[in-house]
Amino acid sequence: MKYWIINRNLPRAYILVNSDKDFTDYHIDFKREIRKNFKDPWILPIKYFIDHPVIKDNVRLAIEILQNNTCVTFSEQDKTFDNTQGLIFKEASGCQSFVGHVSENHPQTINLSQHCQKNPYNILHELGHALGLVHEHARIGRDAFITIDFSQLDDNGKKNFKIRNYSNYFNYSVDYDYSSIMHYGPYDFGSFWKRLFGFPVIKSKLHWQFTWMMESIYAIVIGVVGPVIILVKLFKNKTISCRNGGYPDFRDCSKCICPTGYTGDTCGKIVESSSGCGNTTYNASETNIPIILGDKMNCYILIRAKENKKVLLTISYLNAPSYTNNVCTEKNAFQIKYRKDKGATGLLLCGHQSIPFTIKSESRSILIIYKGTGGHSMMHFVFKETD
C-alpha cells in the first residue's frame, strides 16, 4: 500500500507526502482554509530556485498558474540562496512542504520526488501548503459535508484526517469544496480489501458520489485549470462587491474574477450560450417543466425560484462526455451549480446515467452547465419550485 504520511520527527508545520502516491485532486481551487501568519508574512515577489535535476518547466508552470490567477508573484533566481526568505525546489524521496511561511531570513524547501514532479499540479498542491493552505478535509466544519470511516485508518491515517482546529487557521467563510486540489481522494489511507469492494474512507453527505465515486482513486489533476483563489484577502483590500462567488481582480480593482459559468464586471451575468440552446433563463413554478438538451453546444441554463423558495431538479437521463483518463473535471463534464456558494465546484457529471436522481438547490437558483461534444450528448431533466 502507498500512503500519505506525516513524519513525527519533522517540525510541526511540515507535511510529508509519500512520493509514490498519486494525488487525487481533480480541480484547481485555492479558495480554501489557510494558516495565517501576520507576524512573519511572505514578501512579494517570492524568490525561488529550482535545484537540479528537478523538472524546471513543471515548477514554472505551477508558479505561472498562481501568478496568472492571484496577486501572489514570484521571482526565479539563477543560483541558490540562504540569507533571505524564499523557496528552494529540490528532488527528494517524498513530496514535502511547510505549511505557511516559517523563516524571515532563510528559504524553506519544497521537496519533490521524481514521481511527484512529473505533474505540475502535484507541485501546485505543495505550493498551496507553502502559502498556508491546509487540506480541505481537515478544515473546521468538515463533518457537515463528509463522513470518515475511521475503522479503516491506522494511527498514521487518523493524523491525516485530524481537524485543524487552531486559532490561526481561517477559511474566510467559503463553502466546503469536494474538488479542491487540497482534498484527499475517497480511498486514501483506506483498507485494500474495502477499496477493492468499493468502500471508501471518505463519503459525501451531499451529491458528491456522482463525481468522485465513479473515478479512478489514483487519478491526478488534469485538464482545466479553474480559478486559483488564494490569499487575495491577505494582499488586497476588497474594492468591489463581487457576486456569485467571484473575487476582486488584483489586476483591475474595478472588476471581478468570476467562477465557472458567470461573467461581467461583478460576476452578475451568466456566460453566453450557443445559439441552439434556446431559452436559457427560467422561473420555476409548482408545476414540473421539462427540458431536453442535446447535440454539440454549450448551454448555461439559469433556473430561479421565488424568494425563500428552492429549485427541485430531477435528471432522468444523461449522456455526458466520457471521463478523461478516468477523471471527471469541469473541462469534460456537465455541471450542476446547486450550492449556495456559486464559487464552489458544482456537481460534475460524466458518462451515462439512466437512473433518475434529484437535486435540491441550497439557495433560490441553480445553474446548469451543459457541454455537448456531439450528437450522442444529451440531458433530460425537469424542475419545479419547492420549499
Q: Which residues constitute the domain of residue 351? A: 281-386
- Give the residue from 235, 258, 290 where a domain finishes: 235
325 vs 2, 209, 220, 329, 375, CA distance in Å? 20, 18, 9, 10, 22
What DSSP line would sit under 69-113, residue for residue?
Answer: HSS--EEE-SS---SS--EEEEE-SEEEEESS---SSS-EEEEE-
The verdict on residue 6 lying in a domain is no
236 contacts 245 by C-beta, under 8 angstroms: no
The candidate with the shortest Cα–Cα distance to 25, out of 226, 174, 191, is 226
* Rounded Cα distance, 348 and 270, in Å: 18
- Give the residue from 219, 235, 251 where a domain finishes: 235
Amino acid at residue number 118: K
Question: Same domain for 34 and 94?
Answer: yes
* Rounded Cα distance, 90 and 298, in Å: 43
Q: 117: how many CB neighbours lie within 10 A of its CB?
A: 26
Which residues are known catalytic residues? 126
| CATH number of the domain enclosing 287 | 2.60.120.290
254 vs 31, 236, 257, CA distance in Å? 20, 13, 10
* Rounded Cα distance, 133 and 32, in Å: 7
The verdict on residue 228 lying in a domain is yes
Amino acid at residue number 89: F
Question: Same domain for 144 and 69?
Answer: yes
Q: Which residues pair with 295 in a beta bridge?
A: none
Cell of 137: 478535509
Question: Same domain for 303 and 220?
Answer: no
| CATH number of the domain enclosing 45 | 3.40.390.10
The verdict on residue 176 lying in a domain is yes
The reply, when asked if residue 352 is annotated as ligand binding, is no
- Give the residue from 200, 235, 270 where a domain finishes: 235
The verdict on residue 319 lying in a domain is yes
The verdict on residue 115 lying in a domain is yes
The reply, when asked if residue 129 is annotated as ligand binding, is yes
Q: Look at the chain and report how many structural domains it folds into.
A: 2
58 vs 55, 98, 124, CA distance in Å? 6, 20, 9
202 contacts 146 by C-beta, under 8 angstroms: yes
Question: Same domain for 188 and 316?
Answer: no
Question: Does the pTM exceed 0.75?
Answer: no
Question: Same domain for 104 and 230?
Answer: yes
Per-residue pLDDT tens listing for the chain (387 residues): 222 222 333 333 333 333 323 333 223 334 444 455 545 678 889 999 999 999 999 999 999 988 887 778 899 999 999 999 999 999 998 888 888 888 888 999 999 999 889 988 888 888 888 888 777 788 888 888 888 999 998 887 888 788 876 655 555 556 777 777 777 777 878 888 887 887 888 888 876 444 443 332 222 222 222 333 344 444 444 567 889 988 788 778 788 888 899 999 999 999 999 999 999 999 999 999 999 999 999 999 999 999 999 999 999 999 998 876 666 777 788 999 999 989 888 888 888 989 899 999 999 999 999 999 999 999 999 999 999
What DSSP line would sit under 169-198, residue for residue?
Answer: EE-TTPPP-TT-TTPPPTTTT--HHHHHTT
The verdict on residue 274 lying in a domain is no
187 contacts 148 by C-beta, under 8 angstroms: no
